[in-house]
Structure 1
Amino acid sequence: MLKREYTQMSESYMVGALLAVVGGYLDAYTYISRGKVFANAQTGNIVLMGLNFSQGNFSGTLHYLLPIIAFIVGVVISEAIKSRFRENSVIHWRQIVVAIEVFVLTAVAFVPNGSMNPIVNAAVSFVCALQFECFRKYTTTMCTGNLRSATEQLFIYKNTKNVQALTNSMQLYGIILFFILGVVLGTLLTNIFMEKAVLFSCIILAAVFGTMFIKDVR
Structure 2
Amino acid sequence: MSTPKNSFFLECEKHWTFWLLIAVGGFYGAYTYSVRGGIFCNAQTANIVLLSMAIGTANLAQVMYLIIPISSYFLGAILSEILAKKIKKFHFFRWDTILVAIEILAVIFLGLLPKSAPDQICQITLNFICSMQFNTYRQNEGIPMATTFVTNHIRQTGSNIVKAIRDKDKEASKRWKMHGIMLLMFSFGGIFATVVCTFFDVKAILCVIPLLLFIFIRLAIADRTYEKDLLSKVPRGH
1:168 & 1:119 partners in 2: Cα distance? 38
Q: Give the corresponding residue for 2:196.
A: 189
> Does structure 1 residue 171 correspond to structure 2 residue 173?
no
Secondary structure in 2 matching 1:112: coil
1:45 & 1:59 partners in 2: Cα distance? 14
1:92 & 1:6 partners in 2: Cα distance? 17
Q: Which amino acid aligns with 1:69?
A: S
User: Cα–Cα, structure 1 residues 115 and 52, in superposed 2: closer, same or farther, change >3 Å?
Assistant: farther
2:105 & 2:117 partners in 1: Cα distance? 21
> Does structure 1 residue 159 correspond to structure 2 residue 171?
no
2:37 maps to which of 32, 35, 38 = 35
Q: Give the corresponding residue for 2:153.
A: 146
Give the Å deviation of 1:86: 2.8
Give the Å deviation of 1:115: 5.2
1:5 & 1:46 partners in 2: Cα distance? 39
Give the Å deviation of 1:41: 2.4
Secondary structure in 2 matching 1:48: helix
Give the Å deviation of 1:163: 1.7
2:62 & 2:113 partners in 1: Cα distance? 21
**TM-score using structure 1 length:** 0.90
1:139 & 1:88 partners in 2: Cα distance? 27
Q: Which amino acid aligns with 2:164?
A: Y
1:54 maps to which of 53, 56, 64 = 56
> Bigger shift: 90-99 or 26-35?
90-99
Show structure 2 runs of 5+ residues with no match. Answer: 1-5, 140-144, 228-238
1:169 & 1:32 partners in 2: Cα distance? 30
Q: Which amino acid aligns with 1:133?
A: N
- Percent identical pairs in the alignment equals 26
1:5 & 1:68 partners in 2: Cα distance? 37
Q: Give the corresponding residue for 1:135.
A: 137
Q: Give the corresponding residue for 2:84.
A: 82
Show structure 1 runs of 5+ residues with no match. Answer: none
Q: Give the corresponding residue for 1:200.
A: 207
Give the Å deviation of 1:52: 2.2
> Bigger shift: 30-39 or 199-208?
199-208
Give the Å deviation of 1:6: 5.0
2:157 & 2:72 partners in 1: Cα distance? 29
1:77 & 1:25 partners in 2: Cα distance? 23
**Counterparts of residues 119-130 of structure 1 (less than 5 Å):** 119-130=121-132
1:19 maps to which of 18, 21, 25 = 21
Give the Å deviation of 1:201: 1.7
1:107 & 1:48 partners in 2: Cα distance? 28
Secondary structure in 1 matching 2:115: coil
User: Cα–Cα, structure 1 residues 209 and 189, in superposed 2: closer, same or farther, change >3 Å?
Assistant: same
Give the Å deviation of 1:106: 1.4
**TM-score using structure 2 length:** 0.83
1:5 & 1:145 partners in 2: Cα distance? 24
Q: Which amino acid aligns with 1:158?
A: I
Give the Å deviation of 1:151: 2.2
Give the Å deviation of 1:125: 0.5
Secondary structure in 1 matching 2:93: coil
User: Cα–Cα, structure 1 residues 77 and 20, in superposed 2: closer, same or farther, change >3 Å?
Assistant: same
1:31 & 1:82 partners in 2: Cα distance? 30
